[in-house]
Structure 1
Amino acid sequence: MAGVVPDRTPSTQRNRVGAYYGTTSNDWGEVNSSQDIDTYYIPGANHAFIPGRVNYSFKFTARVLLLTAINLAITSLKNRDCDTAITGGTNIMTNPDNFAGLDRGHFLSRTGNCKAFDDDADGYCHADGIGTLILKYLPDAIADSDPIFGVILGAHTNHSAESVSITRPLADAQEYLFKKLLNETGIYPHDVSYVEMHGTRTQAGDAVEMRSVLNSFAFDHSRPRDKSLYLGLVKANIGYTESASGVLANAIIKVLLMMQKNTIPPHCGIKTKINQGFPKDLDHRGVRIAQKDSVDWSRPARGKRRVLVNNFSAASRNTSLLLEDSPAIHPVRQHQDGDTRTEYVVAISARYTKALEENLKALEAFIANSWAPEGELLSQLSYTTTVRCVHHNRRVAFVTNGLDDLRKSLLNAAVTAGQVKGIPALSPKVGFLFTGQGA
């Protein structure tokens, strides 16, 4: 989806691309070294707690660097240490010790659900996951005709060092981050229409986060009726992916998809009744939680939607990010709107014969299931496959004037993919020929 081709533009030169990832545990290294597992196994042994423990012990409340991969990526872009940042988080669980430690530390739900906002919320469910984002300066992304899904206005992190427990969130610390973001970006609280919550999935933790959000974005009953604030969180749907969630990747991906689809999906975490620790005047504050049906969330005719994404860790680290809609006019769509071609070049490549065959079949299936107008889809396919894809050594190209013709060509090529010879990965010899006069 990102369409990043190394060395295609100045901002994608290989020496200007950085990678920033967060991870929770080293299961493989620990799988054969388990000891007696008790309540303090996770807070005492998991490396995600290392910087949090230092901050908590010394009451430092500034930045906690571990697991703030997106913040580090943004800082590197601002400092021009890189021009393109690949960032995200991973959480692959293979070691039962972490399950046992989290259970004995009373982190995990005994009922098997992430019941965020529910009055019977009792913890979270583990989830494997990997989330990746491509970050660039907005002018660079526009110049490179990148597909822009959203714009990050600001991001900050701090630590709840003054909380009663290292695993207990602190409303004051979260409010400080929210208001700092609003002040630095000049965004009025009522202009934020959605908050992607962290959701501890416990009654006490959810109530603390709700208080900090309301105090910052819906502190009284003055929010206009046409500017409701919606709340939700992806963990209720897919579980808690820990470090993949801890760097905000999965939450941001959800929000970007919401913007793309112009829809707020229903929150599925409330199984019985809403948390009784929440204020009773949510409706009067203009705060909504979509529960049964999706809510239309179209982009304003004049203006942009703005979203706060909130996250905090079990080690008391808080991270918040403010983002808004992408530019209204996208350079790629502008180009496609003026595309007057009657024939289009579509190119497919792969490193191996089997991969080439599968790529050809996958593109045919994509076309078969697409609802896009023929001319628009052909223009997009031609641009994406020729300009925004890495060209590997086994290649097939087609000149086509229609989708039916292209689908037939793709299926025929898939049958004969084994006959495609790979281009040797050798640098060609280059010669220069000059004329005599004026050379």
Structure 2
Amino acid sequence: MNAPERAVAIVGIDCRFPGAGDREAFWRLLTTGEVTARPVPPARWRTGHDQPAGAETPVSLIDDADAFDHRFFGVSPVEAAGMDPQQRLLLETAWRAVEDSGVSPASLAGGHASVHVGVMSSEWANLHLADHRAMTTHRGSGNGYCMAANRLSYHLDLKGPSMAVDTACSSSLVAVQLACTGLRAGEVDTALVGGVNLILTPALSIFYRQAGLAAADGRCKPFAADADGIGRGEGVAVVVLRRLADALADGQRVYAVIEGGAVGSDGRSNGLTAPNRFAQAEVVRTAYRQAGVEAGDLHFVEGHGTGTRLGDMIEVRALGDVHAGRSRPALLGSVKGNLGHLEGAAGIAGLVKTALALERRTLPGTPGGAENAELRLADHGFRLAGAAARLPRGRVLAGVSSFGLGGTNAHLVLSSPPDRPATRR
């Protein structure tokens, strides 16, 4: 078949999320509706009455975040000890994602593949670079957002663009859009896109509490009547992207197709961190226009869905500006109901969930409780995906949203994989 020039295929996926050490475990977590928020373990930080309010809020954490096979990557123990563990997680996850795409990571060496990594914080750096007397060359090179991407390019010997992207909560979905732009322009033939977030201090938990954004139980409840704020989560994911025509020609498995997308900014709103309904609606409209689809064509939207009363209300109204009046409601949910808000990795978590749902023809339900009647989802063209839903045969379209705390908004349009046998090289 002749694949449209703008179509980008997701051909490899690997991830580590709370309660899920790999892609298949993540799918099981989604389909069983597991919620991963737990009390803060003592190994992360101390909680108690002498700590600021918010430090005790439960969080969603991955297992063995400190584990790393340094010998496999040819990294000395001393250098590995100085590296931000976010970089170590990205190395392992990127390697497995490339293998999942059906090729050997070594085969990419010397090629013009790109790397884009969404990351909005490095709490490891905050903890380890403050002591100037303890500075070492490995600590210096082992930290910095740029190194999250550059280290992948170095170890895999990739010659294409290599950059970290920080737009706060939308970082990793913006990174996907940037990578797609390079593929569509013919600048690269393969793109690795990742997002990573590790929670090592209670700083943001305290901030969210002070700002009135934190859920006391550490659970996001997207678009639900019981929604009461953000629960923090951590994780890492990497996807491998290729132009659809190239992936099909090489017989690669296609999880889903990225048809188009858009990135925009709130501009001036009611405050620096206040979401802008009209800017969100415009980025959704632009994404649909770029993808060549109408709002009524979409079967579901993976929302930003932080579970804050104001954020959910503005997001639903923005979607309603585009979707209201459609003949059948679209389903609306968010992976944050399972994992919490993964901050810099939030967008790619939603992307991976959406790609797996499209490939497997099932949209997992969003835990969090009954729909918030004040949102009037039906009036805006939606209904809450509170339980798993079987997706129809034929081409299925979905949207993925991710909105940054400072106003950078991203929306992508995905479609189900082409109806053809998948073979591996």
User: SS in structure 1 opposite 2:355?
Assistant: helix
Deviation per residue, 1:414-438 (Å, 9 max, x gap)? xxxxxxxxxxxxxxxxxxxxxxxxx
Q: Which runs of 4+ in 1 moved over 6 A?
A: none
- Tell me whether 89-98 or 138-147 shows the greater mean CA deviation: 89-98
Q: Aligned equivalents of 1:120 and 1:269: distance in 2?
A: 7
Structure 1 residue aligned with 2:279: 173
1:205 paired with 2:311, answer: yes
- The answer on 1:195 being equivalent to 2:291 is no
What displacement does 1:185 show?
Answer: 2.7
Partner of 2:50: none
Q: For the residues of structure 2 that align with 1:184 and 1:101, how far apart are their CA atoms?
A: 37
Give the whole-Å Cα distance in 2 for the aligned partners of 1:306 and 1:160: 26
Alignment check: 8 A CA contact 1:120 1:203 kept = no
Segments of structure 2 that go 5 or more residues without pairing to the other structure are 1-99, 131-143, 146-164
Specify the alignment match of 1:228 in structure 2: 329
Aligned residue pairs, count:
290
Aligned partner of 1:308 in structure 2 is: 399
Instruction: Compute the RMSD of aligned alpha carbons.
Output: 2.4
Conservation of the 8 A alpha-carbon contact between 2:197 and 2:343 = yes
TM-score w.r.t. the length of structure 2 is: 0.63
Q: Which amino acid aligns with 1:277?
A: E
Separation in 1, partners of 2:259, 2:109: 25
Structure 2 match to 1:289: 384
**CA deviation after TM superposition for structure 1 residue 6, in Å:** 4.2
User: Computing the radius of gyration over CA atoms, which structure comes out larger, 1 or 2?
Assistant: 1
Q: What is residue 421 of structure 2 aligned with on the other side?
A: 330
User: d(CA) in 2 for partners of 1:120 and 1:165?
Assistant: 26
Task: Tell me the distance in 2 between the aligned counterparts of 1:15 and 1:230.
Answer: 40
Measure, in 1, the Cα distance between the counterparts of 2:381 and 2:118.
35
Look up the match of 2:183: 77
Deviation at 1:261, TM superposition (A): 2.2
Q: For structure 1, list consecutive stretches of 5 or more residues without a partner in the other structure.
A: 35-46, 49-63, 333-383, 388-439
SS of residue paired to 2:365: coil
Q: Find out whether 1:25 has 2:124 as its counterpart.
A: no
- How far, CA to CA, are the matches of 1:148 and 1:90 in structure 2? 23
Residue type of the alignment partner of 1:259: L
What's the secondary structure of 2:410's corresponding residue?
strand
Partner SS for 1:319? strand
Give 1:15 deviation, angstroms. Answer: 2.0
Alpha carbons of structure 1 residues 286 and 314: separation in structure 2 relative to 1, 3 Å:
closer
Identity across the alignment (%): 28
* 1:242 and 2:343 matched: yes
Looking at structure 1, the residues matched to 383 and 216 of structure 2 have their Cα atoms a distance apart, in angstroms, of 28
CA pair 118-124 structure 1, distance change in 2 beyond 3 A: same
> Measured at CA, do residues 126 and 331 of structure 1 come closer, stay the same or move farther in structure 2, by a change above 3 Å?
closer
User: What's the secondary structure of 1:315's corresponding residue?
Assistant: coil
Which one-letter code corresponds to 2:406 in the other structure? Answer: A
Contact 1:30 1:95 in 2 (8 A): no
**Counterpart of 1:309 in structure 2: which amino acid?**
V
Q: Structure 1 residues 143-152 or 65-74, which shifts more?
A: 65-74
1:99-157 per-position Cα deviation (integer Å, ceiling 9, x unaligned): 33333333321232111112342221111100111111111111221110111111211
The residue matched to 2:286 in structure 1 has which SS?
helix
Contact in 2 for aligned 1:7/1:14 (Cα 8 Å): no
Matches of 1:262 and 1:180, distance apart in 2? 26
Residue type matched to 2:117 in 1?
Y
CA 236–163 in structure 1, closer or farther in 2 if over 3 Å, else same: same
Q: Which amino acid aligns with 1:294?
A: A
TM-score (norm. length: structure 1): 0.61
| Separation in structure 1 between the aligned mates of residue 311 and residue 265 of structure 2, nearest angstrom | 15
The aligned counterpart of 1:266 is: 365
Distance change (3 Å), C-alpha of 1:285 and 1:118: closer
Query: Larger deviation: 191-200 or 112-121?
Result: 112-121
Report if the CA contact (8 A) 1:20-1:86 is conserved: yes
Q: Which amino acid aligns with 2:371?
A: I
